[in-house]
Structure 1
Amino acid sequence: MTADSRATDRALPVAEPFRIRRAALRLIRLDGRAFAAMIGLNALAAGAGLVGPWLLGRIIDEVRAGGGVAAVDRLALTILGFAVAQLLLVRYAGYIGHRFGERTLARIREQFADRALALPAAAVERAGTGDLMTRGTTDVAAVGAILRDAGPEVLVAGVQALFILGAVFLLNPLLGTCGVLGLLGIWFAARWYLRRALTAYLAEGAANSELAEQLAATAAGARTVEALGLQQRRVAACREGIEKCRSARTRTLFLRSVLFPAVDISYVIPVAGVLLIGGVLHDQGAMSVGAVVASALYLRQLSQPLDVILQQMEQLQSSSASFARVEGLGTAAQAPQAASCAPADDRIEVAGVRYAYDDGGDVLHGVDLTVRPGERLVIVGPSGAGKTTLGRLLAGMDTPRTGSVTVGRVPVAGLDPDRLRRHVVLVTQEHHVFLGTVRENLRIASAGATDAELHAALAAVGAEWADELPDGLDTDLGHGGHRPDGARAQQLALARVVLADPHTLILDEATALLDPRTARHTERALAAVLEGRTVIAIAHRLQSAHDADRVAVMEDGRITELGAHDDLVAAGGAYAALWSSWHGERQASS
């Protein structure tokens, strides 16, 4: 398997064309009145625009027939009146169209946020944050452009083009046929373009996502890159991503360079054909000069809506690719095999579990473990032993290659997100402080929590510092406000867990950034708050293992020892060696 195919396998999905059409129709139905009003007003504007060329032909015929100045002035004023009416109709239709687009874009942004939050963490990690970030910014903005501008403009231009062709046919069917045949060049060029454009724009979007991921990873790991001397390697990777973007962009530019010249030539052909055939018909007395001029003006006027259609066709293809990427998030956010039944109890069982990342070898080898309801289990072991991987499986973030991980005899990974979070919550070393107040940061876990409950949650994790902030719970956090350090940010994350009130809590070295005294206080506070609940802690500091009901020792992807702290120390095995080493280091440091 090549690197490109592996990247494709890891990427977030892209929606099929029928899903895009269904999603677009759903968005239109949600604001159907505004959409219908926009199309109706533009149709009226198109009808008003047809009056000018026809009246101009009447003026020519009136002058040739020796008509007076008053008749010409009356026709000219009528042209002016319809032009003003068309201006007002177009302006009001544009106002309604932009309001429709902005409301629809707001719905798309809200839907995207909901879907992004519902994504399995494993899917985001495989795809990379660059892909998700590009879809949430560039692609969503492109979809907004198609809904606010490109889509309505193409529909309106299509109505105008039909009206104009209909007017030519009414003047003379032969001239109308000539005009349609002269436009065949545009049809062939557009068909050639459309067959290739969507694939090219999807490739351009994928290349942009890959480059964003490379740049984000390089910036986030800048210190590591510098420390390990990886600058040249990262520069080479970024240059490769830039080259892919350039190549994809060049492909879409080539398609446009073929389309637009062919279109420009095709505009001249029907006008020239109408003038030639119209001249012959006039010589034979079949048409007046005014009718020939009006037909030519109509076909010349046809270039304006066709220009809109063709210019926006590029935007439509680009935005359709973006829409496919945005809508594809809904496919990734679905739980395809959600369990239909609720867990019978809170018992967690791991049976014969093996797990491998991507195409690598197994990192877990036949793990068996039973966690009793209300038990406090600590998983310890050297770095790389598989502790975090096991924690992810217990939390339902990944699915084992073989074997099973169940809660109440129901597969954990098969539970829908809402039901899963009521049973199991994973807290890792990673933490995030959201822009907003302390109260808003905490209420993410429980929207209806009272201030008393928020203070209790902070106190439970040893975050009394929150009471000392200038505005208490209303203190802004992040840029321009209070910036919590790593320890305080982690305490906020733990306070959110307390408010979420899960029945099983998995702590993946969740107190690693706290100093030993604060960590000890936080772990004791959590133990008191979560009394009667299942707590699974993956720990570096073995002090937490001392307080556990049982300790599981992992080595090379296997559980090699399982039992109470005192029993394992007395057994003199791997855990006893870890305890002795850690206890000795602690005494030396003190």
Structure 2
Amino acid sequence: MSGASAATGQALPVAGSRETAREVWRLSRGHRLRLATVGVLGIVSTGVNLIPPVIIGFLVDRVQAGTADLGTVLTVTAVMVLSAVLGAVGTAVTIVLATRVYHTILAALREQLVGRAMTLPQHLVERAGTGDLISRTSDDVTAVADAAPAVIPALTVSGFTIVVSLGGLAALEWPYAAAFAVVLPVYVLVMRWYLRVGPRVYGAERAAMSARAQQILESQRGYATVLGLGLAGQRHHTVMAASWGVAVHTLRARTVMAMLSLRLNLGECLSLATVLVVGFVLIDADASTVGGATAAMLIVLRLLGPINELLYVVDDLQSALASLSRIIGVATIPEETDEPTATADTGIAVRLHEVAFGYGDGPRVFDNLTLDVPTGQRIAVVGASGAGKTTLAAVIAGIHLPDAGTVAQPGRTTLITQETHVFAGTLRDNLTLGAPRATDDDIHAALDATGAAGLLDLLPDGLNTMIGTGGHPLTDAQAQQLALARLLLADPELAILDEATAEAGSTHAGLLDRAAEAALRGRTGLVIAHRLSQAATCDRIVVMEHGRIIETGTHDELVAAGGVYGGLWSAWEAGRGMNNKPGRTD
């Protein structure tokens, strides 16, 4: 993979190896002195740990020569104990310092990820699927964080031990180092095989996790639809299929791990056998001593553990690197520079010129659509289900980019849909999301204007009441009032209400219509009308059918024309008459 980010299909980008290394190096700025300290301390502590094999070899030679006594044994014992203590302390300090640097850098990356994820263009998230983003901010972050206990000791202590031990082996008797070097290509080949297979397997596993998260999320979000249409069995099958996909890729990853173990065992056998043979030849030729051969074998045995640990941890490292590349792929998505678009004329807040849009490879929802929304006017968009109203709102809001044509809209545009979300936090936090500098007086004024002031009397701690998940529950009507009050505090130039009062039912329809009226007062508004009573109060009405604008005008003009809108209004009036008959209840 090249250094440039690579995208898979419509998924969010995944950083290449060069880009990942470059970003990690950038994040290490300010911690490089500590990293250098880790390196020096690691080399010193592993050097101390080489003393026991050498001192044991010395003892073996003294015993063989018959010159060893109690003092020799006590001296050797004291040196081994001292070196073990110093080595253990040095190793512990090395791991602690490395862990602190690791988690500091990870924390900075996590903050960068969250910050960028919160500002990603909505059309990019919609195209990739929110499950992909959620998987990266949860599963992938967890995978990188959980890799620390295994990866840090291997990359620090084991890495230093291998380098220092090879140097010590060469200093002891160079033929031993040469013999071990002959076996090193086996480990190199194992690593090359693993690095060729591992990243692909773990990347596929992470992608499968994203797909599973997307299916679970869609089932949860569409819970009412799933129950209403009897789709529980179908959704269960879909989620299970995605879960089995994850299981299959996980089994492949574990198979790769098992094959790695077999190759490492072969390397161990070859290493020990080679050094033993060389030791026998050197002793037989009086080129080495039994003590020297013993020290060489102990150093090799000491080497095998760190080498195997380092190679084993590559399994965790590859999984973590796959997740790290996915995290950095999102964290480093460049800020989009707005493409040149048509600039609306003075007095025109929104201008769509020959706009075309379709979802993926499907048919276009609309084509060559042209629409002007004058500044300060309130425009209603009506039409049958599937006419393209919600898509039009999303294109104007910037959630979807047009396939062709140009869209010009105010810089401060806010969209509220019928899927109102209440964030876990206080009522004050929820209301000031778009207006962090709003005072309590501003909040009370917004609640009064939207008819939600009475909500404070129902909450135990007023504005400080925790709401959302785990907090005080809100009804659908209260959640929509909160969303409209939030819009009022944000004070956008253009407010788009996509059936934003549709979920409350007829009981609260009048209340929410008045709240919407207050939220739109004094600003340009686009209303995707669920009830024609909302459309009737707007300055102008746009009627859509199959992605085309077929009628436009004021309420009175369209009713008098007797066209599609006139027919819809007559049916609406007749329906209201039936609902208002004595004895009828909703």
Which TM-score applies when normalising by structure 1?
0.91
SS at match of 2:405: strand
CA distance in 2, matches of 1:370, 1:352: 11
Deviations 1:428-473 (A, max 9, x none): 1111111111111122212222111111222222211332121100
Deviations 1:74-133 (A, max 9, x none): 222011111101111222222223333333332233222212212222332333232222
The reply to whether residue 386 of structure 1 matches residue 388 of structure 2 is yes
- Counterpart in 1 of 2:486? 496
Which 10-residue stretch deviates more, 75-84 or 458-467?
A: 458-467
The reply to whether residue 94 of structure 1 matches residue 83 of structure 2 is no
Deviations 1:142-184 (A, max 9, x none): 1223456515632432221010001011111111010111232
- CA change 1:338–1:33 in 2 (3 A) is farther
Unaligned stretches of 5+ in structure 1?
1-6, 408-419
- Code of the aligned partner of 1:242: S
CA distance in 1, matches of 2:544, 2:341: 33
The structural deviation recorded for 1:224 is 3.4
SS at match of 1:9: coil
CA distance in 2, matches of 1:479, 1:538: 29
- CA change 1:338–1:104 in 2 (3 A) is farther
Which 10-residue stretch deviates more, 167-176 or 247-256?
A: 247-256
Which 10-residue stretch deviates more, 492-501 or 329-338?
A: 329-338
SS at match of 2:525: strand
2:476–2:503 contact (8 Å) kept in structure 1: yes
- Counterpart in 1 of 2:234? 233
- Counterpart in 2 of 1:416? none
The structural deviation recorded for 1:390 is 0.7
- CA change 1:153–1:314 in 2 (3 A) is same
Counterpart mapping for 1:170-181 below 5 A: 170-181=171-182
Counterpart mapping for 1:82-481 below 5 A: 82-146=83-147, 149-151=150-152, 153-330=154-331, 334-335=335-336, 337=338, 347-407=349-409, 422-468=411-457, 469-481=459-471
The structural deviation recorded for 1:389 is 0.7
- CA change 1:340–1:515 in 2 (3 A) is closer
- CA change 1:433–1:231 in 2 (3 A) is closer
CA distance in 1, matches of 2:337, 2:149: 33
Percent identity, please.
Answer: 37
Which 10-residue stretch deviates more, 459-468 or 226-235?
A: 226-235
- Code of the aligned partner of 2:501: T
2:344–2:351 contact (8 Å) kept in structure 1: no
- Code of the aligned partner of 1:10: Q
- Counterpart in 1 of 2:584? none
CA distance in 2, matches of 1:341, 1:316: 49
Equivalent residue for 1:573, pick from 563, 567, 571: 563
SS at match of 1:10: coil
State how many pairs are aligned: 571
CA distance in 1, matches of 2:507, 2:186: 79
Deviations 1:44-101 (A, max 9, x none): 2211111111111112222233133213312220111111011112222222233333
2:95–2:157 contact (8 Å) kept in structure 1: no
CA distance in 2, matches of 1:357, 1:248: 30
The structural deviation recorded for 1:16 is 1.6
The structural deviation recorded for 1:223 is 4.6
2:397–2:415 contact (8 Å) kept in structure 1: yes
2:59–2:76 contact (8 Å) kept in structure 1: yes
- Counterpart in 1 of 2:3? none
The structural deviation recorded for 1:139 is 0.7
Equivalent residue for 2:577, pick from 561, 572, 587: 587
2:499–2:527 contact (8 Å) kept in structure 1: yes
- Counterpart in 2 of 1:38? 38
- CA change 1:340–1:44 in 2 (3 A) is farther
- CA change 1:446–1:398 in 2 (3 A) is same
- Counterpart in 2 of 1:4? none
Would you identify which runs of 4 or more consecutive aligned residues in structure 1 move more than 6 Å? 340-344
- CA change 1:239–1:472 in 2 (3 A) is closer
Root-mean-square deviation (CA), in Å?
Answer: 2.4
- CA change 1:92–1:445 in 2 (3 A) is same
- CA change 1:344–1:280 in 2 (3 A) is farther
1:62–1:72 contact (8 Å) kept in structure 2: no
Which TM-score applies when normalising by structure 2?
0.91
CA distance in 2, matches of 1:584, 1:37: 82
2:123–2:398 contact (8 Å) kept in structure 1: no
Unaligned stretches of 5+ in structure 2?
1-6, 581-586
- CA change 1:342–1:350 in 2 (3 A) is closer
- Counterpart in 2 of 1:552? 542
2:198–2:256 contact (8 Å) kept in structure 1: yes
Which 10-residue stretch deviates more, 543-552 or 523-532?
A: 523-532
